[in-house]
């Protein structure tokens, strides 16, 4: 009997014993193509020498130095590189151990900023339905995934949730893409006015929605309108790029494609590429400046903030991304992926939507394509697909539809950027075999 909490109580997963490029290998020697990079984590694959060497070198130098006393060379260098390439005027970095911690830090910094600025009445956070921002209580409260929140609802702080920008399911037939985006963005202004603008602290969104919708980017113009609304009312814009950042969408930062820069940006997953747990919150100078001039320190902290070994891994990952121009590679491979997905599944009567950007793609399955009716959740399409694909040696990230019937079962693909076109094609063949086994004909 294993004493480790497995993901699901009645299933014991295989033991991963090795990584080889885009493949994971279990104890029986079976190879799995990592078609989702775990959960959009492993952007460099599993055996990157530069990153593993950087970790070993840092361990040999100094494994840990608490940030209450020290900073470290890799943390300073990684922050410099991130800021050099970050959107807008982001110019300070706070390192944490993962995505939820980055989101928690963002929420608390937004609150502290307004207090330092003499506006302590600003305390409301607005986010979106069908979003995911993490599993710690603050991040879970921000997320709009009804199923994940349900049992913990009594413990969660109050957050308003407006509509996501989810064109496939929500755009009306008589509406242009642009008008749809403006209409849903307008919900933010309405909610700010309803709450009272002087009480609103921040708006939080994922530029490309990952874990809840499966790689859904916003339509053109949506985030520009969101930015305008935030500026009008002095509301901070927090973008959560924990899943879609670090080159995954074909841009180093996903919001670059939307032409907006946030006040606070959260990243994680691809930052450590799975080699070390690391996340970061980036903020602009006017936010940090208010804290610096005010109480002089951010009222937050975790023991492993700025961990030197994690920072060394993050620095090596960032250098790999930049030196090998991997965001461009993600863009180019993503185009290949997109055209193969359309060619292979575009005519399938149960494929409702194929979407995403770069190496971040989603397929949504429906019972009926014309009415976009999702499958009955009792059929467990997503879970069956995961199992069938895994048996075929493919790791993909399937998600069940939402219980309110607005989102169908879908599967997310987020392969390493170092995959070859042949590897991707073979993975899609495996996915096709899994889909053929699971979906009704």
- Residue 115 or 245: which CB sits closer to ligand PMP? 245
- What is the smallest separation between the CB atom of 28 and ligand PMP, expressed in angstroms? 28
- Residue 283 or 351: which CB sits closer to ligand PMP? 283
Specify whether the CB–CB gap between 95 and 75 falls below 8 A: yes
Q: How far apart are CA 330 and CA 247, in angstroms?
A: 7
- What is the smallest separation between the CB atom of 120 and ligand PMP, expressed in angstroms? 27
Torsion of CA 415, 417, 423, 429, to 10 degrees: 30
> CA-CA distances (angstroms) from residue 94 to 104, 119, 147, 259, 281?
12, 23, 30, 24, 5
- Residue 98 or 352: which CB sits closer to ligand PMP? 98
Q: Which residue is nearest to ligand PMP (CB)?
A: 99
- Residue 267 or 428: which CB sits closer to ligand PMP? 267
- What is the smallest separation between the CB atom of 264 and ligand PMP, expressed in angstroms? 13
Binding site for ligand PMP (CB under 6 A): 39, 98-100, 103, 132-134, 206, 210-211, 240, 242-243, 268
Query: Residue 132 gets which letter from DSSP?
Result: -
- What is the smallest separation between the CB atom of 211 and ligand PMP, expressed in angstroms? 4
339 CA to centre of own chain: 23
Q: How far apart are CA 269 and CA 76, in angstroms?
A: 19
- Residue 241 or 392: which CB sits closer to ligand PMP? 241
371 CA to centre of own chain: 29
- Residue 115 or 358: which CB sits closer to ligand PMP? 358
- What is the smallest separation between the CB atom of 396 and ligand PMP, expressed in angstroms? 15
- Residue 102 or 115: which CB sits closer to ligand PMP? 102
- What is the smallest separation between the CB atom of 141 and ligand PMP, expressed in angstroms? 13
- What is the smallest separation between the CB atom of 116 and ligand PMP, expressed in angstroms? 26
Q: How far apart are CA 431 and CA 361, in angstroms?
A: 13
Please, which residues bridge with residue 11 across strands?
A: none
Q: How far apart are CA 99 and CA 143, in angstroms?
A: 13
Phi, psi of 101 (to 5 degrees): -65, -35
- Residue 39 or 146: which CB sits closer to ligand PMP? 39
Please name the residue that has the structure tokens 């060619």: 343
- Residue 266 or 312: which CB sits closer to ligand PMP? 266
> CA-CA distances (angstroms) from residue 119 to 114, 197, 281?
5, 11, 22
- Residue 350 or 355: which CB sits closer to ligand PMP? 355
State the pairing for strand pair 160-162/124-128. Answer: parallel
- What is the smallest separation between the CB atom of 266 and ligand PMP, expressed in angstroms? 7
- What is the smallest separation between the CB atom of 241 and ligand PMP, expressed in angstroms? 7
Vertex 36: Cα angle to 33 and 39 (nearest 5):
130
Q: Is 250 left (phi over 0), alpha (psi -120 to 50) or beta?
A: left
Other CB atoms within a 10 A radius of the CB of residue 27 amount to: 10
- What is the smallest separation between the CB atom of 139 and ligand PMP, expressed in angstroms? 6
Query: Nearest Cα to 129, choosing from 205, 190, 192, 182?
Result: 205
Q: How far apart are CA 102 and CA 107, in angstroms?
A: 9
The total number of residues written for the chain in this structure: 441
Specify whether the CB–CB gap between 114 and 146 falls below 8 A: no
């Amino acid at each position: 009997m294993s004493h480790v909490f497995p993901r699901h109580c009645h299933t014991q997963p295989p033991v991963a014993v090795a990584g080889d490029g885009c493949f994971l290998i279990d104890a029986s020697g079976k190879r799995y193509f990592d078609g989702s990079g775990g959960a959009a984590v492993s952007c460099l694959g599993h055996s990157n020498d530069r990153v593993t060497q950087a970790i070993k070198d840092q361990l040999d130098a100094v494994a840990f130095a608490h940030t209450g006393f020290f900073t470290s060379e890799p943390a300073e260098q990684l922050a410099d590189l991130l800021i050099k390439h970050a959107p807008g005027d982001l110019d300070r970095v706070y390192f944490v151990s993962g995505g939820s911690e980055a989101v928690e830090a963002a929420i608390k910094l937004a609150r502290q900023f307004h207090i330092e600025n003499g506006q302590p009445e600003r305390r409301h956070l607005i986010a979106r339905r069908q979003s995911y921002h993490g599993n710690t209580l603050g991040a879970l409260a921000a997320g709009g995934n009804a199923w994940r929140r349900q049992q913990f609802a009594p413990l969660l702080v109050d957050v308003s949730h407006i509509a996501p920008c989810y064109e496939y399911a929500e755009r009306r037939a008589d509406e242009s893409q642009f008008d749809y985006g403006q209409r849903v963005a307008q919900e933010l202004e309405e909610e700010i006015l309803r709450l009272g603008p002087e009480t609103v602290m921040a708006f939080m969104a994922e530029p490309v929605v990952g874990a809840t919708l499966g790689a859904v980017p916003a339509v053109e113009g949506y985030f520009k309108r969101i930015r305008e609304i935030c500026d009008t009312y002095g509301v901070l814009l927090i973008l959560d790029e924990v899943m879609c950042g670090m080159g995954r969408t074909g841009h180093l930062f996903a919001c670059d494609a939307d032409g907006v820069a946030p006040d606070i940006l959260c990243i994680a997953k691809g930052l450590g590429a799975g080699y070390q747990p690391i996340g970061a919150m980036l903020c602009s100078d006017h936010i940090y400046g208010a804290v610096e001039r005010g109480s002089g320190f951010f009222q937050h902290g975790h023991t492993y903030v700025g961990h030197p070994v994690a920072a060394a891994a993050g620095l090596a990952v960032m250098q790999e991304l930049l030196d090998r121009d991997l965001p461009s590679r993600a863009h180019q491979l993503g185009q290949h992926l997109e055209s193969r997905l359309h060619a292979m599944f575009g005519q399938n009567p149960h494929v409702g939507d194929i979407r995403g950007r770069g190496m971040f793609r989603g397929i949504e399955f429906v019972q009926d394509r014309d009415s976009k009716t999702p499958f009955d959740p009792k059929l467990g399409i997503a879970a069956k697909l995961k199992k069938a694909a895994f048996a075929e040696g493919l790791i993909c990230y399937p998600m069940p539809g939402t219980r309110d019937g607005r989102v169908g079962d879908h599967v997310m693909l987020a392969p390493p950027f170092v995959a070859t076109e042949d590897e991707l094609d073979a993975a899609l063949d495996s996915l096709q075999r899994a889909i053929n086994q699971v979906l009704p004909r």
